[in-house]
Amino acid sequence: MRQIKASEVTNTVARLFEHSCHYLPPDVIIALKQAREKEKSPVCRDVLDRILENVEIAGKEQIPLCQDTGAAVVMLELGQEVHITNGDLYTAINGGVRQGYDKGYLRKSIVNQPCFARVNTKDNTPAMIHTDIVTSDRLKISVLPKGGGFCRRPRWRGR
């Protein structure tokens, strides 16, 4: 049985959220650069240039790539031969979200009772945690700061 301290989970989740909001994976940057080279529209090339500039600034300055750092989604592959010690797994994950969003200066936009009270939790918890139990002695943690994006309601215009 492999033992993992809850504090290790907390530190890992915090680090992953900070990193995911400050950097894009190299393959995404390559794809953006390739798209920019192939793009024929000057306006679209300029937009891609601004995106690439934003990626560079975010990494250098350690600031979020996007102002909407979203809801904290955590995906776990939890080996059935893993035992979390010195704390609860989900409490450790939410502690990591709390730390990562605070230390990384990430926007905290989660609310309690979204249909009624809509009071901001001020720490972006609770995380949405998806857990798959697998045959192993490992714990794999993946995070996704899921932004809501901007959505305009379509307007009905009478004829």
Which residue segment(s) compose the domain that 115 sits in?
A: 2-23+65-146
pLDDT tens digit sequence for 25-59: 999 999 999 999 999 999 999 999 999 999 999 99
User: Residue 156: its pLDDT value, please?
Assistant: 52
Rounded to whole angstroms, the Cα distance separating 146 from 20 reads: 11
Query: Does 38 fall in a domain?
Result: no
> Which H or E run includes 45?
helix 42-61
Looking at the structure of the chain, the number of domains it has is 1
Helix 6-22 to helix 89-103 angle, to the nearest 10 degrees? 40
The pTM for the full model equals 0.84
Instruction: Please report the DSSP string for 90-103 in residue order.
Output: HHHHHHHHHHHHHH
Query: Does 29 fall in a domain?
Result: no
User: Residue 149: its pLDDT value, please?
Assistant: 58
Query: Does 142 fall in a domain?
Result: yes
Query: Does 137 fall in a domain?
Result: yes
Query: Does 97 fall in a domain?
Result: yes
User: Residue 113: its pLDDT value, please?
Assistant: 76
Query: Does 126 fall in a domain?
Result: yes
Which residues of the chain have a pLDDT value below 70?
148-159
Buried b (16+ CB within 10 A) or exposed e, 14-34: bbbbbebbbebeeeebeebee
Query: Does 54 fall in a domain?
Result: no
User: Residue 154: its pLDDT value, please?
Assistant: 52
User: Residue 157: its pLDDT value, please?
Assistant: 52
Query: Does 122 fall in a domain?
Result: yes
User: Residue 159: its pLDDT value, please?
Assistant: 47
Cβ-contact 1, 136 below 8 angstroms? no
